[in-house]
Structure 1
Amino acid sequence: MARIVVIGAGMGAMTAAARLAVAGHRVVVCERGETYGGALGRFERDGFAFDTGPGLLPLPAVYRDVFVKTGKEPLEQCVELTQVEPAVRHVFADGTVTDLPNASRAGIGEALDKALGDGSGARWAAFMNRARETWDRARRPLLEEPLFEDWQVLGEREPYPAVVHKRLLRRDRSAATLAEIGALELGGDPRLVALLEHFALAHGLDPRTTPASAAVLPYMEQTFGVWAVRGGMRALARALYERCVARRVEFVFGAAVTRIVEKDGRAAGVELADGTAREADFVVAGVASTALDRLAPGGVDLRARGDVPGRSGTPSRLTVLLALSGGRPGSAPHRTVVHAADRGAELDRLFGERPGLAAAPTVTVLRPDDPGLVPDDAHEAVTLTVTAPAHLEITPAEAERLIDHAEAAVPGLRDRLLWHEVRTPADVAEATGSDGGAVPAPALAAAGGGFLHPANTTRLPGLFAVGGWSHPGGGLPHAGMSGALVAGLIVEGPGFRGSQ
């Protein structure tokens, strides 16, 4: 039985802790804050409750696996999951509206034909067939295996089977980025392009530079569906915490780690801000990569091999929480995406040299049908989320413009508004410890490895990295996958090759 210290109580860290405890190890989690969950925060006021991080769960199979492998009670006995229907309503810049069904390829095609014109569904279906090939080629090495020393294979090979377009007297051309897929393979319809590019933008990725392999992002959502958790996503974090406690994982809150202790050339424990120390045979760091570097013995970069190029300038999120009078209409979709009036201007502002918010950016509006989030059925809790530059200071006027823009999804919103609360990139930084509130994106293949994340192993033997800032990157499913990979590497050793 090994002694294991886990730094942080995020979802990836708790996944690893539960799996390691079941394997017979003695696990203690040191969390600098006063609660668990990492990005899955919660804000409560006047009987209203809001998720301050992700509001929906994609690919729930990842957490089903965690609960199956760590106890007798499956995930559905610990939280109530509801498949959202429709999966999403899109309000495009020209006013076109379409509702896309959940996990129904045929239904999505029919909806696109009806809203955007005949042929739109067929073009999208052809793209999704290519996205399926991308998923089949990239899934295991990208998501289910540790990042091995030959990670360059993932960086060099583009798994997306782009269509080659022949042009008279000019070189043949095929899509290398998500934006080029929209231009070359979706007929250039600005609404189909906006639909495609939203999947990148929602993860803080610039579709103009994001590799075509990002086709796996819409494939995952539209194939496996999206789910709501009764009581909010915080209920999922609570269930995982309780599973850890049931497996005798020890949690110490208000315990900021100031240094990773090295002894005889390997990780030997941690030192805490109060001067105490925790000895360990293994240390699992569920913190942002910049924070991990600060904890390193002697300030040495601990990330494995240091060869993965990685990304810089990762954006954050701006969230506005709305308390409304009047009940939620039964016909209201759970999620609506209101697209930017000018997508090019939005991308220039977000990813340009002087980052900022567009006047009317793409906003995701969540209207959960959940009585546990409101004081009574005469009120509604609504959440607005926008991808925003890290470190950005949000002005009251920008928040007000965002509320006005969201009226396309919630008619009469202004007349119903009781109060609102703004959660800025600074609040994200406080909750997660990331630099400027940056939110990690999922790992992607191709582009020379520039969209991969550092390996779960590090330069220091006995030290492992878990969570969104390590392989396989950000997002709730990916966090759970990282926890499974770290547990496998510790339990089975360097020969671990992922789940079978």
Structure 2
Amino acid sequence: MIGAGMGAMAAAARLAVAGHRVVVYEHTETYGGGVRRHERDGFCFDTGPGLLTLPAVYRDLFLKTGKEPLEDRVDLVQVDPSSRHLFADGSEVSLPNASRAGVVAALDEALGAGTGQRWGDFLVRAREAWDRTRRPLLEEPLWPNWSVLAEREPYPAVPHKRVLRTRRAGTLAEVGAWELRDPRLAALLESHALAYGLDPRETPASAAVLPYMEHAFGTWYVRGGLRELARAVYERCLARRVEFVFGAEVVRILEKDGRAAGVELRDGTVAEADHVVAGVDHHRLGVMTEHRLYGEGDVRPDPRQWARPGRLTVLLALRGPREPGAVHRTVVHAPDRTAELDFLSRRSGRPALPTVTVLRPDDPALRPDEDHESVVVSAVLPSDEERGEDDTAERFTDLVVQAAETALPGLRGRLLWSEVRTPGHADAETGAALGGIPAPALAAGGGRFLHPANTTPLPGLYRVGGWSHPGGGLPHAGMSGALVAGLIVEGPEFRGSQ
């Protein structure tokens, strides 16, 4: 196993239970991939994901690898309200967790009569897209007939009359403009794509499944931070006798008789294996295999994915207690949508005020005492910008903090210290080229939003994690682990969970 990310560990635990001896080689000194923690002066911060959707993926992992509920290993709690949204016109709304009726009522009250109903009707259509794509996109390996997913738009868009033509939304931006018909609802919708660095003007309408997942399955937090989930999965692997070798960088995948036969480490050590599972991005896996990764008809990474947007995160240590009624997650929407998207998509080199997520968990484990608060603020930016000579990352950080002040009045007066994490940190910790964010697999879009299959043309070599099917995000990483384990244990006839 190459890499100790969440997908790789999910596969490792399942394979160990099936009777395989599993050894994980991780080039850093710890597990979890991007699910990490930063500690300083009694403050603790999640530096990767801060919330979890679809916890059923990890519940299934713990039941299948030990008949033990996930909740016996971590304290999993629903976040309510799910999120608070601050819009450029000064309006705001807090959305209840996993309640369609509650969301409709909250939107009507905050944004005006009819807005809630339009959002509710959108969720009904999003559910249809979810039902159409759930199995082939999440629960089954990516089969050779994947082009059906690439060509067919599963989102049932509403006909839109425009002059003498009737059109249907093909992108997420068109769904917002033509069906939601309110810039604030459109911003709410598009923020789910922006979280993965996706430009809604180019993202297929099928991305409607992203807000639907959060609405249908809720938003969850792990007490102590999401790093506790990584710890629990790691400990489950250890309990199933998975071996971990840290500080071990794999530089080459060995072949013998036309199949993967092991790995070679940078220090020259060779480890033989019957199967090799690689939890690394396309670029690094290509180097390890001399770029012999794709056969005729395979899904290949879009060239634009080599420079996927990354996440800039600011860790804030604040004096003063968290005020009563403070919301766990606040999304501050950009005042100039076009400027934000043009910067993100490199149509403009000038940073603009971005859409910012502010996480303020009410968790004593993350602060030194009740008179302090730890806050994580994040936004996406072109992932190689911090390497430039024009201090773009520094200017972008100032904009991120400026936007966060909308959600945290008096922030600068409370600030004890802050630390900035650029995409370069993610590059070093996860191996993702330029610290890019892997997005979940999406249908339509000509296949540009799919990820390479978990199998490869080299027998015995498998892909796992966010850069392979079914893509990025904690739930998807866990699903990739289940798919790889199924393919190894059951062979090519494996058809996914039932």
TM-score by length of 2: 0.97
**1:148 to partner: Cα distance:** 0.3
Amino acid at match of 1:191: R
Residue 178 of structure 2 aligns with an amino acid whose one-letter code is L
The one of 305, 309, 322 aligned to 1:315: 309
Q: How does 1:230-241 map to 2 (within 5 A)?
A: 230-241=223-234
Distance across 1 between alignment mates of 2:201 and 2:460: 39
After the TM superposition, which residues 6-405 of structure 1 pair with which residues of structure 2 at under 5 Å, given as runs? 6-168=1-163, 170-187=164-181, 189-296=182-289, 299-303=290-294, 305=296, 307-311=298-302, 312=304, 313-355=307-349, 357-358=351-352, 360-393=353-386, 394-405=392-403
Which secondary structure does the structure 2 equivalent of 1:198 belong to? Answer: helix
Partners of 2:354 and 2:371 lie apart in 1 by: 30
- Per the TM alignment, residue 396 of structure 1 is displaced from its structure 2 partner at its CA by 3.3
| Alpha-carbon separation, structure 1, partners of 2:87 and 2:295 | 43
- 3-state secondary structure, aligned to 2:38: strand
Name the aligned partner's letter for residue 438 of structure 1. Answer: G
- In structure 2, how many angstroms separate the alpha carbons of the residues matched to 1:204 and 1:442? 11
Deviation at 1:271, TM superposition (A): 0.6
- Say if 1:350 and 1:356, in contact at 8 Å, map to a contact too: no
- Per the alignment, residue 389 of structure 2 pairs with none
> Secondary structure of 1:7's match?
coil
Q: Using the alignment, how far apart are the partners of 1:52 and 1:208 within structure 2? A: 28
CA distance in 1, matches of 2:242, 2:450: 31
Residues 491 and 386 of structure 1: CA distance in aligned 2, closer, same or farther (over 3 Å): same
Structure 2: gaps (5+ residues): 387-391
Conserved? CA contact 1:327–1:378, under 8 Å: yes
Does the Cα contact within 8 Å between 2:129 and 2:208 map onto a contact in 1? Answer: yes
Per the alignment, in what secondary structure is the counterpart of residue 419 of structure 1?
Answer: strand
Aligned partner letter, 2:247: G
Q: Secondary structure at the match of 2:385?
A: coil
Which has the larger displacement, 404-413 or 439-448? Answer: 404-413
CA contact (8 A) 1:304 1:457 kept: no
Identical positions, percent: 68
Which amino acid in 1 is paired with 2:242?
V
1:3 is matched with which residue? none
The 8 Å contact of residues 78 and 97 in structure 2, kept in 1 or not, is answered as: yes
**RMSD between aligned residues:** 1.1
User: Do 1:404 and 1:414's aligned partners in 2 also have CA atoms closer than 8 Å?
Assistant: no
Residue deviations 1:368-405 (CA, integer Å, cap 9, x gap): 01100111111000000101111121543432332122
Amino acid at match of 1:205: L
In the alignment, the residues of structure 2 paired with residue 305 and residue 464 of structure 1 have an alpha-carbon distance, to the nearest angstrom, of: 17
Give the Cα separation in 2 of the matches to 1:182 and 1:362. 16
Q: 1:241 to 1:305 in 2, by over 3 A?
A: farther
Which sits farther off after the overlay, 415-424 or 389-398? Answer: 389-398
Q: Deviations over 1:132-174 (max 9, x none)?
A: 1000001001110000001001101110011112345x22111
Q: Which runs of 4+ in 1 moved over 6 A?
A: none
Question: What does the per-residue CA deviation read over 1:175-212, in whole Å, with 9 as the maximum and x for residues that have no partner?
Answer: 0000000111112x110110111111111111001000
